[in-house]
Amino acid sequence: MRLKIFTTGGTIDKIYFDKKSQYEVGDPQAGGVLDRANVTFEYEVESILKQDSLDMTDADRDVVRRAIEAAPEKQIVITHGTDTMIETANVLAGVGGKTIVLTGSMYPAQFRDSDAVFNLGCAVIAAQSLPPGIYIAMNGQIFDPRTSKKNVEMNRFEAIAK
């Protein structure tokens, strides 16, 4: 078993630059989180983008898809901004034979009470436990990206009511 983590930026990796009171996407946080959690499975973190997900283009999503297709690993976690996580997940439709789990966080991993650590715990177990397919791991649940959305008002993911 070997798990691959692709990082693309998003809130989870946001850091704070005081100089102009801005935030920017910093280095990937996922590796530090997994180290502190003392995980014992084999994994590799690879930064492929450093984007706010609102700025992600079709070309960016193509980069993500090709990286996943090229990876020999069957268990993939992608850290991603929440605003267009669903859109990227749906672009991955049809990638076969891999369990692909997208996660991220509503608050930067650098925050005291961020949801990032919990969400990464959710994502790594989902990647190891679920059959091949594309999944979202947010708010302590697994969502099918074809039938879920980010509720911006409530700042959470949810299934689309039929």
| Choice between 66 and 132, CB closer to its own copies | 132
Place of tokens 């749906």: 90
Q: Which stretch binds its own copies (CB under 8 A): 61-69, 87-95, 151-159?
A: 151-159
Q: Alpha-carbon torsion 91, 118, 7, 150, what sign?
A: positive
User: Which positions from 37 through 76 interact with its own copies, judged by CB under 8 A?
Assistant: 37-41, 52, 54
The reply on whether position 139 binds its own copies by CB under 8 A is yes
b/e map of 102-125 (b: 16 or more CB within 10 Å)?
Answer: bbbbbebbbeeebbbbebbbbbbe
List 11, 75, 88, 148, residue binding its own copies (CB under 8 A): 11
CB 66, min distance to its own copies, A:
26
Q: Which of 100, 120, 134, 136 lies at the binding interface for its own copies (CB under 8 A)?
A: 120
Instruction: State which residue, 64 or 109, has the beta carbon closest to its own copies.
Output: 109
Determine whether 65 is exposed, middle or buried from the number of CB atoms within 10 Å of its CB (0-12, 13-18, 19+): middle
